[in-house]
Amino acid sequence: MCGIAGYTHSSTKTKGEALISALNSIRHRGPDHLGHFISDRIALGATRLRILDLAGGDQPLFSPDKNIVVIFNGEIFNHAELRQQLEKDGFKFETHCDTEVLLNAFLHWGSACFSRLRGMFAIAVWIQSERRLLLVRDRMGIKPLYYCQQNGHIYFGSELKCILAHPAIDRHISLPGLNCFLSLNYVPSPWTLVEGILKLEPGHLLEWHNGESKVRSYTMPVVPPRVRSMEDARQHLDVLIDQSVREQLVSDVPLGVWLSGGLDSSTILYYASRLRSGLRTYSVTFQGRSFDESRYIREVSQHFGTQHAEFDLSPNEGLADTIEDMAYYSDEPNADAGALPLWYLARMSAKGVTVLLSGEGADELFAGYLTYRADRYASILRKVPPAFRRMALALAARLPVSDDKISFEYKLKRFLQGSLLSPERAHVFWNGTFSEEEKRDLFHFARPEPLDAVLAGIGETPGLQEYLDFDQRYYLPDDILYKVDRISMAHSLEARPPFLDPRIVDFANYLPEQLKLRGATSKYVLRSLMRGKLPDSVLRRPKVGFDIPIHDWFRGVLRPLLLDTLSADSVAATGLFRWRAVEHLLRQHLDKRANLGYHLWGLTTLLLWMKRWKIELAAERPTVLHPVARAVVPAGSSSPRLASFTS
């Protein structure tokens, strides 16, 4: 595991000061080694967290003739299989690390090698004789990769701060990115919140040569697996999860499992414990709260005999200081409030292990979120005339406001509001914050086009799989995996998600919908598979979600941080928001007339981030959004859909 950074240049006298600054900014991603390569055309380097072959594998890595230079962040889980094939074809290896496998695979197969990789990675390959740079990101977007192109040069890195370290880069807010952030609580690829800096999208390759670049998908068409019955599906999934966990348990440093007591993490622990005894497990609890999961966590831990550690997250943990620290490591504002308990989980875990297995991805593959049921229920409710739905919403607004994390009244109000939106906007509204109407009242530069372009990939009559495709394309990499990467790497931890093995992704995406969501039962095939393998309480319990009681804490322990960050002067200084609208949100929430904790969390993290990284509104702003069309190929699909983007 590493962090990578680099940029092209035309100076023969550069000493790479900007590169060293960039690498030092991500030293937390790789505290064990820092290496770099500087020529008359490029400067690139990597920081390394040693996981495999502790004595070998430092980067950059060079081909025997020094023509190819490789830097690489992540893990290739099928490196042993590829090594075997390359050795049969005559290649010799000097190390046991996966970086050398990657280098030789590129020498053997060229850019076609990337579709053979099974893992999580961000890769940069420099071909000196051709002055050509390749940037590559794994298929599901587990590992991040950012880039910026200006004046014929390209700047790239594992985190935004790598690029911001270069003096040539301006720090202006991206209005299309911010439009999406306010609606979704995350920034969908390829945008970021910094104008001119983009994310390389999952499963894509960027090729730069002589100041010009092109981006394309490198994924190959998928042959759908044959599933003839429920029993067939269970057997197939059993083999796939076992294979994935087996590969991802390989490590030369201590390894553990993040355990929530829910179906996903407990499933990973079940398969891992069959292969390795005495595993370490780590959890965060909320003692005394209705959403505390400690009972289930301890039941699963005892069931598998793990060495278990817990951290109880209470309001007395210096939360405000931690939130401000996260503004540095989060890279972009993280409006997912689950980042806060994850921070404490990672901090505790880093005292005992370097590698963690986690359950990310199962919800987006097997329809685990409540939003998928809401999509179905809303399609029925929309048959009721809008006037009656508005009347129901008005009645629901009279319900007492609860301090619970996500209470019944909160869900009911959001559901009724969403039922008044189009199906695709409702889907993102339930997990998001501001509607377009609310955004126009709040935000000086509110525009519907950026979000329209993202939602165009869903289609007019979406079914369950269209929503799953969308969440795999955007919500999973740009919210969930982004959050896990930044928080784990802030503590020099490698987090591995076995559910996102491409073989499992392909299997899940071609399953019949009724094997994922059957009636009100989510993740149907996974629950069926794990019956008899996990305690019944785990299989029966509803999904809780890894989050904090932000509504309550903003009225209590975090109130000073909220009011200080969203003061009239601070809001006015951004030039982005209308103070009267922000003040109204604050009053509504603090007076307990509405639960707006998630809305205020997004604004708070945004302003903290802008202050920390000196991000400003550009003095001259473009009045036209330029569409960039691209083919969207849902994970596990061979059929592209066309969506337009603006940048």
DSSP letter for each residue of 206-258: EEEETTEEEEEE-PPPP-PPP--SHHHHHHHHHHHHHHHHHHHT--SS-EEEE
3-state secondary structure 316-361: CCCHHHHHHHHHHHCCCCCCCCCHHHHHHHHHHHCCCCCEEECCCC
What does the mean pLDDT of the chain come to? Answer: 91
Q: What's residue 204's pLDDT?
A: 98
Question: Quick one: which of 542, 523, 558, 585 has its CA closest to 408?
Answer: 542
What tens digit of pLDDT does each residue of 197-233 get?
A: 999 999 999 999 999 999 999 998 888 778 889 999 9
Amino acid at 118: R
Nearest residue to 317 via CA among 284, 361, 353: 284
User: What's the gap between Cα 95 and its chain centre?
Assistant: 31
Q: What integer pLDDT is reported at residue 644 of this predicted model?
A: 31
Which tens digits make up the pLDDT trace of 397-435?
Answer: 889 888 777 778 888 999 999 999 999 999 999 999 999
Torsion 84-89-93-98 (CA) sign: negative
- Decide if pLDDT at 632 tops 60: no
- Check residue 527 and give its pLDDT: 97
Q: Say whether 57 sits in a helix, a strand or coil.
A: coil
Mean pLDDT of 292-315: 94
Whether 646 has a pLDDT exceeding 50, the answer reads no
For 63-108, what is each residue's pLDDT tens digit? 999 999 999 999 999 999 999 999 999 999 988 899 999 999 999 9
Average pLDDT of 641-646? 30
| C-alpha 617, offset from chain centre | 26
Q: Using an 8 Å Cβ cutoff, are 441 and 581 in contact?
A: yes
Cβ atoms 26, 162 nearer than 8 A: yes
Q: Is 494 helix (H, G, I), strand (E, B) or coil?
A: strand
Cα–Cα distance for residue pair 19/26, rounded to 1 Å: 11
- Give pLDDT tens digits for 40-59: 899 999 998 888 767 777 88
Tell me, rounded to whole angstroms, the distance of Cα 493 from its chain centroid. Answer: 16
State the pLDDT at residue 289.
Answer: 83
Torsion-angle region of 27 (φ positive above 0: left; ψ -120 to 50: alpha; else: beta): alpha
Question: In this structure, how many other beta carbons lie within 10 angstroms of the beta carbon of residue 81?
Answer: 14
φ and ψ of 233, to 5 deg: -65, -45
* 630, pLDDT greater than 50: no
pLDDT score for 381: 95
| 539: nearest Cα among 244, 262, 303 | 262
E strand or H helix that includes residue 510: none
Determine contact, residues 636/508, Cβ cutoff 8 Å: yes
Q: Which band of pLDDT confidence, cut at 50, 70 and 90, is reported for residue 287?
A: confident
Q: Residue 25 burial by CB count (10 A; 0-12/13-18/19+): exposed, middle or buried?
A: buried
451, two tokens: 């979000």
CA pair distance 493, 255, nearest whole angstrom = 10
Residue 625 has pLDDT above 70, yes or no: no
Secondary structure (DSSP) of 398-460 = TSPPP-STT-HHHHHHHHHHHHTS-HHHHHHHHHS---HHHHHHHBTT--SHHHHHHHTTT-S
Give yes or no for a contact between 268 and 496, defined as CB atoms under 8 angstroms apart: no
Digit-coded pLDDT (tens) for 425-450: 999 999 999 999 999 999 999 999 99
pLDDT band at 178 (very low <50, low <70, confident <90, very high): very high
pLDDT surpasses 60 at 240:
yes
Tell me the average pLDDT across 240-263. 95
- Per-residue pLDDT reduced to its tens digit, 110-158: 999 999 999 999 999 999 999 999 999 999 999 999 999 999 999 999 9
CATH 3.60.20.10 residue spans of the chain? 2-169
Cβ contact 551:600 at 8 Å:
no
Please report the sign of the dihedral spanned by the C-alpha atoms of residue 236, residue 237, residue 243, residue 246: negative
pLDDT band with cut points at 50, 70 and 90 for residue 599: very high
Confidence of residue 189 (pLDDT cuts 50, 70, 90): very high
Residue ranges, comma separated, of all CATH 3.40.50.620 domains in the chain are: 230-367+475-540
Instruction: Give the C-alpha separation, 67 to 63, whole Å.
Output: 6
Q: Which fold has domain 230-367+475-540?
A: Rossmann fold (3.40.50)
Residue 366 pairs in a beta bridge with: none
Amino acid in position 601 = W
Kindly give the pairing relationship between strand 517-518 and strand 641-646. Answer: unpaired
Query: Hey, what amino acid is at 520?
Result: A
The predicted structure's pLDDT at residue 341: 94
How far is it, in rounded angstroms, from Cα 60 to Cα 46? 7
Cis peptide bond upstream of 60, omega within 30: yes
**Under CATH, which number does the domain 2-169 receive?**
3.60.20.10
